[in-house]
Amino acid sequence: MLSLRLTNPYDDKMVTIWLEPLGEDYWMRPGEAFTFEFDESDFSERMCGAHFDVSWTNGDLVVWTGALENVWVRDQSGTGLDCGHQRPPSE
């Protein structure tokens, strides 16, 4: 199982994380950390070695897994998170 932990280092702003290619969004409050996991056993041959790729795009973090399913996002306590976690209400 591959895992990647990301932490929001800011004291005063939320960080948006986009999980691609699934198009899911997760919002981290200051000081929070999320863990992204996926079982690479089904993907490693096709992916030439499974991995995460992380980049900054327009102030958001983008996490690419290469997996189209079986990707889990967890908070610091290990609780699974759903797409849109802590998304601010639209204005």
The pTM assigned to this predicted structure is 0.85
Residue 46 — pLDDT band, cuts 50, 70, 90?
low
Residue 78, pLDDT > 60, answer yes
Evaluate whether 76 touches 28 at the Cβ level (below 8 Å).
no
Residue with the larger pLDDT of the pair 50 and 81: 81
Q: How many helices (H) and strands (E) does the chain have?
A: 1, 7
Q: Distance between CA atoms of 90 and 69, rounded to whole angstroms? A: 27
The SS3 assignment for 43 reads: coil
pLDDT of residue 51: 72
